[in-house]
Structure 1
Amino acid sequence: MKGPKNAAIASKKLVITETNKKRKADLNSSKKEKASKKNSGGPKRPASAFFVFMEDFRKSYKENFPDNKSVAAVTKAGGEKWKSMPDSERAPYVAKAGKRKEEYEIALAAFNKNLGEAKMPAESEKSSGEVHDVAEDEASS
């Protein structure tokens, strides 16, 4: 009796793993579709105030600690310094980030405008001619 029960359990496990694989494949394909919908030619999003700060901090950190090659150590030190900084010291970085955001919004609007113009089909002469014919017929009656 033990033999058939084990065989039944084994076949159930096989069915379950096959359905799980199908579900994972469906999830992966939907992720790829979402990624492909993004416009690859669009402008890159601007850096936040923290990342603008980190650009400067990395340079100064490398000057002070030239032997340290660890990215994690630099990031951790930068994060600690950013948290300890008062708002008055953060203000220049916030201003730079705001300026970059404004430039990004202008570039994004221009990109979307160009993208929209490329997608819009030009009006055909036939459709505009039909409208004029109907308007002339009504005027002559």
Structure 2
Amino acid sequence: MQQGLDLTPASHADKAAWLSNLGVALKGRFDCLGELEDIEHAIQVSQQAVDLTPDGHASKALSLTNLGAALLCQFEHLGELGDIENVTSTYQQATENKSSPPSVRYNAASRWATLSSTYQDSSQALDAYKAVLEIIPQLVWLGQTVH
């Protein structure tokens, strides 16, 4: 995948998506082998994918969610509490991208809420849970009641 991306011009319309996919693959390899260079590379290419995707683009939230997953993996491996702010900020940005599919935004909001309630203050957790609740009506069937 990396070789293919190296041959792809920066202006190619699919480059950001391919970078994001490479990030997911590298994170998966890290999960299997535990080599820190894989997660570092995953973060690097995932960040490039986010940077290449314009704000308001429908796939921006997915790129941010993939980056957040890689950052979280690094945090869990190294245990540096300062890194959790990057993770939650990334999930928050994904949640707030209204042009992305509600399912992707809900996933990001749920991760943001869980991490905020575990590692950050209650006001940030409340903001995250509020975002989760605001997205739910976009996901469920219109006739469904939410309790």
TM-score tier, shorter chain, comes to under 0.3
Higher helix share: 1
The alignment's TM-score, normalised by the length of structure 1, stands at 0.23
In terms of Rg, which structure is larger?
Answer: 1
Higher relative contact order (CA 8 A, sep 6+): 1
